[in-house]
Every structure is written in C-alpha cells, then in structure tokens.
Amino acid sequence: MAGVIKFGSGYRVYYSELDDVIVLLLCAGDKKSQSSDIKQAKEYLKDYLKGENHD
C-alpha cells in the first residue's frame, strides 16, 4: 500500500507500507513540488524493492 499524509497548508509526506509492518517514508514536500515529489517517491520505492538504498 502506498499513500500520502497531508499536513497543514499543503505539506505532504509520501509513504509505503511493506508487509503490513514497515512504513517507509519516501519523500516530502509542498503543493508546489507535488509532481516531482510523487515521481521521486515512486523511484525511491522502486529502488528499495529492488534491494538498493537500504541504508
């Protein structure tokens, strides 16, 4: 499952739940950077699931 948590005036945190246990915070930003934040979050998740960038 992937989703977004909205805070205050336009701030968003993008996340993914893995195995119903791990919450992986992927990226955060405001309305102005929303499109690029979503793209970056998807890339981070893709890399993570491939076994990269686990630190």
Condensed to tens digits (0 to 9), the pLDDT of residues 1-55 reads 678 877 877 888 888 888 777 667 778 888 888 899 889 988 888 888 888 555 5
pLDDT for the residue numbered 54: 52
> Is residue 6 a part of any domain in this protein?
yes
- Domain membership flag for residue 8: yes
Is residue 45 one of the residues assigned to a domain? yes
- Note the Cα 23 to chain centre separation in Å: 10
Name the one residue in this structure whose structure tokens are 């970056």.
Answer: 40
What is the span of the domain harbouring residue 9? 2-49
Supply the pLDDT for residue 36. 92
Rg, the chain, Cα only: 11
d(CA 43, CA 37): 10
Give the pTM.
Answer: 0.69
Q: Number of folded domains in the chain?
A: 1
